[in-house]
Amino acid sequence: MIDFTRAELTHFTINFVGNKGLGEELTMSDKLFEFKDDFVKETVLRYFTTPFKTDIYYQFKGKVDVTLNSVANFCEDIFEAPKTFVKKSRKVAEHLYNQSLHAKVKGGEFYTCYFKDVVVDGELCEAIGFFKTENKETFLKVFQHNDEFEMDCETGININKLDKGCLVFNTEKKKGYKISIVDTNNRNSEIALYWEEDFLNACIKPNGYYHTKNFMDTSRGFCEEILTEENNVAKEDQRMMLNKSASYFKERDKFDLKAFEKDVLVEPELVSAFKDYRKDFNKRMDLTAIDEFDVSQTAVKKNQKYMKTILKLDKNFHIYIHGRHDYVENGYDDEKGLKYYKLFYVNEE
| 197 and 215 both lie in a single domain | no
C-alpha atoms less than 13 angstroms from C-alpha of 105 in its C-beta half-sphere: 25
Structure confidence by residue, pLDDT tens digits, 275-327: 999 999 999 999 999 999 999 998 988 877 666 556 778 888 877 776 666 67
> What Rg do the C-alpha atoms of the chain give, in angstroms?
26
CA distances from 281 to 62, 218, 278, 287 (A): 24, 7, 5, 8
Q: At what angle do helices 268-285 and 208-225 cross, to 10 degrees?
A: 120
Contacts of 331 (CB under 8 A, 6+ apart): 339, 340, 342
State how many domains the chain has.
2
User: In sequence order, what DSSP letters do the residues of 271-313 get, joined into one string?
Assistant: HHHHHHHHHHHHHHHT----SEEEPPHHHHHHTGGG---EEEE
* CA distance linking residue 105 with residue 152, whole number of Å: 31
| 192 and 316 both lie in a single domain | no
* CA distance linking residue 36 with residue 40, whole number of Å: 7
- Residue 156 confidence (pLDDT) above 60: yes
- Domain membership of residue 261 (yes or no) is yes
| 68 and 196 both lie in a single domain | yes
| 175 and 298 both lie in a single domain | no
Range of the domain at 263: 209-343
Contact 185, 163 (CB under 8 A): yes
Q: At what angle do helices 208-225 and 235-250 cross, to 10 degrees?
A: 170
| 196 and 223 both lie in a single domain | no
Structure confidence by residue, pLDDT tens digits, 66-101: 556 799 999 999 999 999 999 999 999 999 999 999
* CA distance linking residue 322 with residue 309, whole number of Å: 6
Structure confidence by residue, pLDDT tens digits, 263-275: 999 999 999 999 9
